[in-house]
Structure 1
């Protein structure tokens, strides 16, 4: 976490949390979800416009990445100064980029050690790692298939609905806080 963020948290300890305004899609892209986007439906609903606006500012994306983490309830968030901005997830909290040597980096660029491999009913490949669960990026499926063929990863079947409970993450902190 950035030092400036830690300082802001100490200076303003009681800033309310923010829900529904930031999303992470299946390709590791961040989306800002204004009021209009939120009224169009859930982030993962598939409704046109519900994802919001794709963030394209490199320094903002890097700042989010450096301050992206999970709380004890499995809700992933971006610590924006003193405010915790919970993230709506399309599929998983991380998106893996598979390297030529079959190592992986998440959508933020952090390396991880793979612990297990999972295939859901939709054909999505997930990797559980020491840093959390992530979806393999669609552009890296050829490299992932090589890892499976070589026996480096042994996919196990899993229901997409079971992933959050099985791996301890919350897809929609917004909906959870409404309960």
Structure 2
């Protein structure tokens, strides 16, 4: 986490959390979700416009990626100064890219060590690593197949709906927050 972020957290310790405004898609792209986008539906809904606008500012993306982590409940967030901006996930907290030599990196650029390779009932491929679970980027699925063919990794089957609970992440912190407010 950046020092400037830690300093802001110390200076303003009681800033309310932010929900629904930031999303990570299945290709590792960040999305800004304004009120209009949120009114159209959830990030995961597939409704045109509900995802919001894809972020293109490299420095902002780098700042977000340096300052992301998960809370104790498995909700991923970006620490934006003193405020936690919770992240809506389209798939998983990490999107993996696989190099030709089978080195795996997260969408953030962080290298990961693979523990196991998984495939769900829809044929989506995931890697469980020391950083956590992530979806393999669609362009890199052939490289994952090569790693399996070379016995670098072995394949286990999983059920997509079971994965958030099994691997400890929350797809929609916003929905979780709404449910806790109504309870």
SS of the equivalent of 1:15 reads coil
In the TM superposition, what whole-angstrom CA distance separates every residue of 1:114-152 from its partner, at most 9, and x where no partner exists?
111110111110101111110000111121110011111
- TM (norm. structure 1) is 0.98
2:153, 2:173 → 1: CA distance? 31
1:42, 1:123 → 2: CA distance? 24
1:153, 1:51 → 2: CA distance? 34
SS of the equivalent of 1:42 reads coil
1:69, 1:82 → 2: CA distance? 14
SS of the equivalent of 2:144 reads helix
Name the counterpart of 1:127.
127
Q: CA RMSD, aligned part only? A: 0.6
- TM (norm. structure 2) is 0.96
Gaps of 5+ in 2: none
2:143, 2:126 → 1: CA distance? 14
1:159, 1:90 → 2: CA distance? 16
In the TM superposition, what whole-angstrom CA distance separates every residue of 1:47-86 from its partner, at most 9, and x where no partner exists?
0001000000000000000001111110000000000000
Name the counterpart of 1:141.
141
Name the counterpart of 1:156.
156
Compute the displacement of 1:33 (Å): 0.4
Is 2:173 the partner of 1:170? Answer: no
Name the counterpart of 1:62.
62
Q: How many residues align?
A: 179
1:103, 1:29 → 2: CA distance? 20
SS of the equivalent of 1:123 reads coil
